[in-house]
């Protein structure tokens, strides 16, 4: 076996690997060597107060014991009893109707037509009240739509239009209110958000119910096991009727981590919010919204608002267009795995069709029913 030779030269170290020398700073090389030798995490950033008693208690109890299925179900049942005001998330307002000024969305089994007239959003049923023609294929002119079948003209933005639905713009997301037997509220039940930050939104359609998305987040104990690339350590140090409090170490690179204290709570039955209470990024929030779109299908919408009290964060805000794609990529990576978690739970509880297919040479199950030959 060949080992590279180290030759000292001034303030640098040259690593000879065959005929290709690589120059590295001594301190960088020493740091890499110590990092490989160390088995402990290297925590950087703001120091957190010690939680000795709680940490010792958490260390003695295995995560699979703490993640009691009955306890998670009981927490989910309490969340489902909260009022929603009949509000549902459609998506990020800056992404909606960006091309043609109109889009069709399926929310809670309803086929809705979303129209953007200048800077104003309007929402009506996509079914023409005459014979059910799709209004999305009609002619649009200054907030009015003319049905392509028989020429019936409707004002999309008038509340007097029979199928008009209320919308709410919270600054980041657009919500629609669909009346039901549940009492309606004037606006959605929103959590506290930082006044300034870098916002990013990720959306994905899952084959499960909204409850399984919330259940996934009510089980933080799976984090360090199922997402080792992102979470180096995760400990739930307090559980109350309305919230979970945890200390989590996010991986920056290898064993270098940033540790924060966070809280999970649900303002409504289809939303769960993680708020950073202490540490780097204090005040940042991650909102996970689960919108039912059709039987067995849920639209996942995750909004991340990164915030920091550091002065250099104002510079980072000016570079938000460069940072935002990395935030979306991080959310997509986590939800690629959490989607499998939620869909698997849905399959086990509802007996959904689970088709086998070949993926990377292995026989696996996919609740989406991917049409691949085995």
pLDDT at position 37:
45
59 and 103 both lie in a single domain: no
Assign 12 a pLDDT band (cuts: 50, 70, 90).
very low
pLDDT at position 88:
97
pLDDT at position 10:
39
Assign 350 a pLDDT band (cuts: 50, 70, 90).
confident
144 and 216 both lie in a single domain: no
pLDDT above 70: percentage of residues in the chain: 81
Which strands form 102-107's sheet, in the order they lie side by side?
102-107, 110-117, 120-125
- pLDDT exceeds cutoff 50 at 23: no
pLDDT at position 108:
92
pLDDT at position 117:
80
Instruction: Identify whether 289 is part of a domain.
Output: yes
119 and 254 both lie in a single domain: no
**Are 124 and 164 within 8 A, CB to CB?**
yes
Instruction: Identify whether 273 is part of a domain.
Output: yes
- pLDDT exceeds cutoff 90 at 71: yes
Instruction: Identify whether 121 is part of a domain.
Output: yes
- pLDDT exceeds cutoff 70 at 165: yes
Instruction: Identify whether 372 is part of a domain.
Output: no
What are the backbone dihedrals phi and psi of residue 118, each rounded to the nearest 5 degrees, phi first? 60, -115
How many independent structural domains does the chain possess?
A: 3
**238 CB contacts (<8 Å, ≥6 apart)?**
54, 244, 245
Higher pLDDT, 170 or 100: 170
237 and 354 both lie in a single domain: yes
What are the backbone dihedrals phi and psi of residue 326, each rounded to the nearest 5 degrees, phi first? -70, -35
Instruction: Identify whether 100 is part of a domain.
Output: yes
Assign 17 a pLDDT band (cuts: 50, 70, 90).
very low
214 and 66 both lie in a single domain: yes
- pLDDT exceeds cutoff 60 at 9: no
How is residue 135 annotated by DSSP? G
Assign 150 a pLDDT band (cuts: 50, 70, 90).
very high
Instruction: Identify whether 296 is part of a domain.
Output: yes
pLDDT at position 188:
96
**Least confident stretch, 46-60, 201-215, 299-313, 322-336:** 46-60
To the nearest whole number, what is the mean pLDDT of the chain? 83
**Least confident stretch, 71-75, 249-253, 359-363:** 359-363
Which CATH number does the domain housing residue 301 bear? Answer: 3.30.530.20
Assign 59 a pLDDT band (cuts: 50, 70, 90).
low
Q: What is the mean pLDDT of residues 261-282?
A: 96
194 and 111 both lie in a single domain: no
pLDDT at position 338:
95
59 and 143 both lie in a single domain: no
241 and 128 both lie in a single domain: no
pLDDT at position 120:
86
CA distances from 1 to 4, 6, 21, 158, 205 (A): 10, 16, 18, 78, 50
Q: What is the mean pLDDT of residues 154-162?
A: 79
201 and 58 both lie in a single domain: yes
Tokens (6 digits) for 315: 């510079």
Which CATH number does the domain housing residue 157 bear? Answer: 2.102.10.10
pLDDT at position 147:
92
Instruction: Identify whether 43 is part of a domain.
Output: no
**Are 190 and 170 within 8 A, CB to CB?**
yes
pLDDT at position 40:
77
Residue range of the domain that includes 23: 5-37
Question: Up-side HSE of residue 320: CA atoms within 13 Å toward CB?
Answer: 14
pLDDT above 90: percentage of residues in the chain: 56
pLDDT at position 27:
55
Q: What's the predicted TM-score (pTM) here?
A: 0.82
100 and 244 both lie in a single domain: no
232 and 352 both lie in a single domain: yes
Instruction: Identify whether 229 is part of a domain.
Output: yes
Question: Which of 142, 177, 212 is the C-terminal boundary of a domain?
Answer: 177
Q: Rounded to an integer, what distance in angstroms lies between the CA atom of residue 258 and that of residue 47?
A: 9
Query: In a 10 Å sphere around its CB, with 0-12 CB exposed, 13-18 middle and 19+ buried, how is residue 162 labelled?
Result: exposed
- pLDDT exceeds cutoff 50 at 357: no
- pLDDT exceeds cutoff 70 at 29: no
300 and 248 both lie in a single domain: yes
pLDDT at position 365:
53
pLDDT at position 369:
44
- pLDDT exceeds cutoff 80 at 368: no
Assign 81 a pLDDT band (cuts: 50, 70, 90).
very high
Q: Which segment, 28-32, 34-38, 61-65, 327-331, is predicted with the most confidence on average?
A: 327-331
């Amino acid at each position: 076996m060949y080992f590279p030779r180290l030759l000292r030269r001034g303030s640098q170290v040259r690593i000879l690997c065959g005929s290709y020398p690589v120059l590295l700073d001594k301190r960088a090389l020493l740091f890499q060597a110590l990092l490989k030798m160390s088995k402990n995490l290297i925590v950087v950033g703001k120091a957190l107060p010690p939680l000795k008693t709680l940490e010792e208690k958490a260390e003695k109890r295995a995560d699979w014991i703490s993640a009691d299925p009955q306890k998670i179900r009981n927490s989910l049942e309490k969340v489902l009893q909260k009022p929603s005001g009949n509000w549902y998330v459609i998506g990020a307002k800056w992404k909606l109707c960006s091309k043609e000024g109109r889009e069709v969305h399926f929310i809670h089994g309803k086929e809705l037509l979303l129209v953007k007239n200048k800077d104003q959003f309007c929402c009506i049923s996509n079914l023409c009240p005459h014979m059910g023609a799709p209004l999305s294929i009609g002619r649009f002119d200054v907030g009015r739509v003319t049905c392509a079948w028989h020429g019936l003209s409707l004002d999309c933005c008038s509340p007097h239009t029979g199928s008009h639905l209320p919308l709410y713009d919270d600054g980041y997301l657009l919500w629609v209110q669909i009346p039901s037997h549940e009492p309606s509220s004037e606006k959605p039940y929103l959590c506290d958000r930082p006044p300034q930050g870098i916002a990013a939104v990720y959306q994905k359609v899952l084959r499960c119910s909204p409850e399984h998305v919330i259940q996934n987040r009510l089980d933080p104990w799976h984090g360090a096991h199922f997402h080792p690339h992102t979470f180096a350590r995760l400990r739930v140090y307090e559980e109350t009727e309305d919230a979970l409090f945890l200390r989590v170490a996010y991986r920056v690179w290898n064993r270098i981590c940033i540790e924060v204290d966070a809280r999970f709570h649900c303002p409504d039955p289809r939303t769960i919010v993680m708020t950073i209470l202490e540490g780097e990024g204090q005040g940042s929030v991650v909102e996970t919204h689960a919108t039912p779109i059709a039987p067995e299908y849920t639209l996942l919408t995750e909004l991340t608002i990164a915030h920091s009290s550091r002065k250099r964060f104002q510079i980072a805000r000016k570079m938000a267009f460069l940072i935002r794609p990395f935030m979306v990529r991080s959310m997509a990576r986590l939800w690629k795995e959490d989607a499998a978690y939620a869909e698997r739970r849905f399959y086990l509880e509802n007996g959904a069709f689970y088709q086998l297919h070949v993926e990377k040479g292995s026989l696996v199950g996919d609740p989406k029913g991917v049409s691949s030959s085995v």
